[in-house]
Structures are given as structure tokens and as C-alpha cells.
Structure 1
């Protein structure tokens, strides 16, 4: 039976015993001091209290936490329809790998036809403006026209070039490549079908559009992601967050991968009281898939303080601190400790313990009630 989630019960016991809601002991005793819980041998036996010995530890512990695989946001791209039109074909399927520039879909678009027509018109107007400027420059040299007319002609030519550049940019935004725009300049042949291409290499995660569907401009067609490196979002209990600064590496047992912790969140999930940490992995051929739930092991290196290994059931939360109950002749001594890491079987703690001391692992509800009563005196 685990006791880390007994805080509501302990607060109830504290209220019954007259402790203030703030969690501070009424007699002014500091929360970081050990407290003697006096019990006779008969009381200990009746409460079913059992103990196990404290063991010295090398200073490296583990925290087992759940995680979910996700794609780094900078490696995720939604390919949208560059212009309104009819989806003629979708050329890729989910989980298919594509390279940058590979065809994704074809669109029939009247907007594309109109944009090409406007481009050709701007190209003709720019050519006329250049010819008019050449003619007026010659007439000005022969003193046939005034300089004011030449200035106006130069401004008109500059405006025509700017309009042509604008129309070329509109075609590029509509999905036409530079070679396609160059071919339009040369052949002056309008294309009704637009080829949508992959903006980056990766894996198709999802198809949003369907063949034969009429879509608006910017409507999503497919989602592409680059899956190497990949992230795992870890949910770390708030009480263990202090150990995240000492994490050396993150291990995924199911995939046999080791990664590194790259980010620790500053906010706490109100529902789970956990902190989100992000670990990065190079999966290679390992089948890590976005959305996959898995278990991660955080390898934690202890600090300079003495570190001990105790059964996980021996560590309890009380008054926002972690405690263990050490057996002494008078009963038990409640000692505050720092929880460094934890597995389902064992916990690594730092505190004033010694090899050979025995800590309580069963019957802790009775000890907690006696602790609350001792604090109230």
C-alpha cells in the first residue's frame, strides 16, 4: 500500500487534533525537526507496524514517470491549399515518407488562372512602359519633349516593374515554383492545375482533405512531421520536481533508448499536480510514434549529502514534507527527509539517517495519527 497520497486524510487528522490549516505546528516546532512518537511494544504490535533496514546508496537513483511521444513544433508542418479550388488528387497516404519538393496534391483553381492572367497583363504593361521610356529618352536627347515628360515616363516604368514583381510574388504564394513562373513568362500558356509540394522531408501524419473536395485558400491538406529527433512529454509529480535539476539521462525501457532532459515546465497541472518535462531522443529505427504513451526512467545523480535507500512505502507526505519513521527504544522518531528519486519498490532519500536503522513500512496510519497528536501538544 502506498502512502504518498494520504495528504487529505492527514489534514483531516490534523484538523481533529487542532492543527492550524496552514500546516505549521501550533507549538512553534520547526517542520524540519524530527519528532518523537512514543509507543509501547504492545501498541506497535497491535497497530501492525513493520520495519525494514536503511541502506546506504551510491548517489544515483531513479524516478519512474509516464510520458507521451510528441513531435517538436519546429519539425511539424501543415501543408495548406495555396489557392481556392478543387482537390483533383491526393498523392500521399498517412505514414508515408516524403522528401522536400515531392508532389503532395494537385488542385484545379480558377484563382490560379486569374493570377496568371494578371501576371501576363502586368508583364505586357511592363514591356510597354520600358519601350515608352526608351522612346522618350531618345526624344529628350533630341530636345523634342520636355524633361518633365521624361520624369513621368520613368516613374510609370518603375511602377510597371513593381506591379510585375508583385504579380510574380502572388504566383509564388499560390504555389508555383520559379521554373513554372519562368515557363509562363516564355510560353504565356495558362495552367489550370496547381501542383502542391512538400515543404520539408518527413512523414505524413494525417490527411485532412479528400479527392474531389472543393477547398478554400489556406485549407489544410496534410500534416508532415520530421520524426528525428523526437520528444517525450513527461509528467513528473510536483514532489519529485526538485530532483529534475540532477537528471543525468532519461531511459525508455520499451524502446531501449537513452535521451536527455531539455526542458522543465514552470507551471503545474491543477488536475494531476504534476510538472511537464520534455526529453529529447534520437529514435533511429525504434518505432516511437507521436501520441504513444510509455514509461520513462529518469536517472538522477544525488548531491553531496548522504543518500539512503529505503522501501518506497516508508516515505510519507505530511505538512508538505517527506518523512520516515525510524525505530527507537521509545517508539519511533519521525524524521524529515528529501526525496531524491523513487521506483515502485524503493525510494532514494537524503537526511539524518544511518546504516542499520530500521524504518516503518506498515502501520503508518497509526504513526501519522500519533505524529499529529504529538505535534498538537
Structure 2
């Protein structure tokens, strides 16, 4: 639409600079169409849901496990892929590792040395009891046996941390799932060389799940742990388990956390959803950001007060922003059932503020 057409349309309506709240604009059907003005009903679903907040589905920390390379090596087998369901103890990958062979060899040598010195200790204890050797020799043998036993124990613990079976030398190292769950992420490719502690799979149990909700401070003040929450337009429900005590400096919101038991199977980690607030948890209506207009430090929306074949009327009404998430804004100042302009707001603002009118 050309600037000349916009100015000609604006000239059809008497507009004055922004003054008192409640001033009304009257537009003919041709003007509504030309300016691309569309309206929506507050609290009538979609982006105009009443009392909802954006939330993100996450997996509780205690339900996530990481399968990592215990030693450096090459990925010899990847037995599962993201989305696969696994059982605890199931082999999910194999690692060909010279370092694992070195650990096994050192453990075997330490175990053999410890066994030999234990035999020497028993012999010297017998000889000392018979008075055939000095006590100093027995003490030296006892110290050597203790040192060899400690070294063998250290090597066995190193094998256990690496997931290597003691006493078995050779072959790729099998990596197993630590819990029953679903593979969320695969971080390596077949044949890739990895260092010790490099992540291979991320596995999680997907029930229950958490919802992380960004709530305006004014709304969060009315919430308490244990309150029921529900996904908008869904039967998925849960309860609040944490109300944050810190306010995000950028968005001025508080982090809420809810645990979802009922319907958790229908959710996916990372999914963004809309959460309905508990009754009495605060005021506010969810509007699309495109419905807001700003001028001289004020924020307002255009409420449709009348609609007819001849003309439609809009009232510029100031609102207070309670919070914002994504493309949605939670505001105070409009009521469920009222119709507001959600598109073409810039044209209404131009008419209201007198832009282009002489």
C-alpha cells in the first residue's frame, strides 16, 4: 500500500494528537480493508488466550544420564540412535581403545605382584615364628605386601571406573545404558576418535517431566508450591514444585517449575507450550505483541467498541505490561470477550496520533 493511499485514508477520519484515554476513532469498511486491520477476541483461544503463560518442557536433572567414553579410543559400534528406547545394562556402543588394554595389563600385573608378595609374607611369618629370620626382615616383607595390595586395589578401581571387566584382556570396550529410558542425543559418529570423558549418548527417563514457566513478578507473587497447573486446551496437568526467588533483569519475570505426571507421554523435551494459571493466581490477558502500540512512553491497544456496516469504532486504551515471552505479551487493562485490533495497528496509531494529518 502506497504512502499516498494511507494519507488519503487517514484524511477521511478526524484525528488529533494523543490526549486522554477513551478517545474514539471511526473507520469505514473501505478503510479497514485498505489498512489491513483485523481484530480478535480476548480470551478466545489462539494468541488471545486468557491467563496463560509460555513454558518449556524439560527433563528433571535426576532423570538424565550421560554415556561417556571412559578412556580415549575409536567408536567401533553405535547400537542405538536418538529416539530409541533402551534398558539398563543394554550395550549402546563399543570403544576400541589401546588405553583400555594398558589399564587391563597394569591391573593384571599389579594383582600378580600382590599375590606373590602375600605368599612371601606368609612364608616369612612362618620362618620368624620358628626363629629362623630377624624381625626386621618380616617387617620389610609385610610393608612390601601392603604396598602391592594397595596398588592392585587402585588398578581394580580404575578398571571399574572405566567399565572394564577385571581379569579379561583384549577386545573392544562395551558401553552400556545406565538407566531405562530414551536416547535424547547422540554426540559422536561411527569411526570417530574420542578423548576420555567425551559424551556419546544422553539418555533420559521421560516421566515425570518439568515445565519451566516464565511468570511476571505480579503474577508469581500470587502463586504457591503445590498449586495445580494445566496446559491450555489440553488434559495434561501437574503441580508447581518451585517458585523462583530471583527476577530476570531483562524480562522482569520469575522462573516457575511444575512437575507433570498426567499426560507427560504426550510432551516432548524442548517443546514450548502454554500453561493455564491456577484460579486466582493473578490478573492479565495474553495478547500478541502486534496488538500493542507505543507513543510518548505509553502502551495501549485499540479496543473495538462498535461495529456496523457503515463504520467501526476503536478506543485507544492504555494497558500495563505484566510480562512477555516469545511473540506473546501478558497485559492488564483489557477483559475477556473484548475485541481488539491485532493487525493494522500501525495505521490506527498513525490516525490516533495525527501522523500525516494537517
Do both proteins adopt the same fold according to a TM-score greater than 0.5, normalized to the shorter chain? yes
Structure 1 match to 2:70: 82
Structure 2 match to 1:226: 205
TM-score by length of 2: 0.66
Residue 279, structure 1, aligned to residue 258, structure 2 = yes
* Structure 1 unmatched ranges of 5 or more: 1-38, 49-61, 314-318, 320-338, 348-360, 366-377
Q: After superposing the two structures, state which structure 1 stretch, 282-291 or 144-153, moved more.
A: 282-291
Structure 2 match to 1:331: none
Residue 204, structure 1, aligned to residue 183, structure 2 = yes
Higher relative contact order (CA 8 A, sep 6+): 1
1:232-287, Cα deviation, whole Å (9 max, x unpaired): 11111233222223873110135421110111222222332222111110155632
Q: How many residues align?
A: 283
Structure 2 match to 1:193: 172
SS of the aligned residue for 2:266 comes to: coil
Find the partner of 1:133 among 121, 129, 154.
121
Residue 265, structure 1, aligned to residue 219, structure 2 = no
CA–CA separation in structure 1 for the residues paired with 2:170 and 2:194: 18
Q: Is the 8 A contact 1:63 1:342 kept in 2?
A: no
Q: 1:101 to 1:214 in 2, by over 3 A?
A: same
Q: 1:302 to 1:282 in 2, by over 3 A?
A: closer
TM-score by length of 1: 0.63
Cα distance, 1:300 vs structure 2: 2.8
Structure 1 match to 2:110: 122
Residue 144, structure 1, aligned to residue 129, structure 2 = no
Find the partner of 2:58 among 67, 70, 92.
70
Structure 2 match to 1:21: none
User: Where does 1:72-111 land on structure 2 (aligned, <5 Å)?
Assistant: 72-111=60-99
* Structure 2 unmatched ranges of 5 or more: 1-19, 27-49, 292-296, 298-321, 323-329, 342-348, 350-358
Q: 1:218 to 1:246 in 2, by over 3 A?
A: closer
SS of the aligned residue for 2:119 comes to: helix
Find the partner of 1:299 among 265, 278, 285.
278
SS of the aligned residue for 2:110 comes to: helix
SS of the aligned residue for 2:202 comes to: strand
Find the partner of 1:237 among 216, 219, 225.
216
Give the ranges of 4+ consecutive aligned residues of structure 1 lying more than 3 Å apart after TM superposition: 43-48, 283-286, 341-347
1:8-34, Cα deviation, whole Å (9 max, x unpaired): xxxxxxxxxxxxxxxxxxxxxxxxxxx
Structure 2 match to 1:166: 154
SS of the aligned residue for 1:296 comes to: strand
Q: After superposing the two structures, state which structure 1 stretch, 274-283 or 120-129, moved more.
A: 274-283
Structure 1 match to 2:346: none
Q: Is the 8 A contact 2:54 2:274 kept in 1?
A: yes
Q: After superposing the two structures, state which structure 1 stretch, 147-156 or 206-215, moved more.
A: 147-156
CA–CA separation in structure 2 for the residues paired with 1:129 and 1:88: 39
CA–CA separation in structure 1 for the residues paired with 2:259 and 2:80: 28
SS of the aligned residue for 2:70 comes to: coil
Q: Is the 8 A contact 1:83 1:112 kept in 2?
A: yes
Structure 2 match to 1:248: 227
Q: 1:285 to 1:232 in 2, by over 3 A?
A: closer
Cα distance, 1:68 vs structure 2: 0.8
CA–CA separation in structure 2 for the residues paired with 1:150 and 1:246: 67
Cα distance, 1:145 vs structure 2: 0.7
1:42-83, Cα deviation, whole Å (9 max, x unpaired): x977689xxxxxxxxxxxxx7310111111112112211011
CA–CA separation in structure 2 for the residues paired with 1:108 and 1:309: 59
Q: After superposing the two structures, state which structure 1 stretch, 279-288 or 124-133, moved more.
A: 279-288
Structure 2 match to 1:214: 193
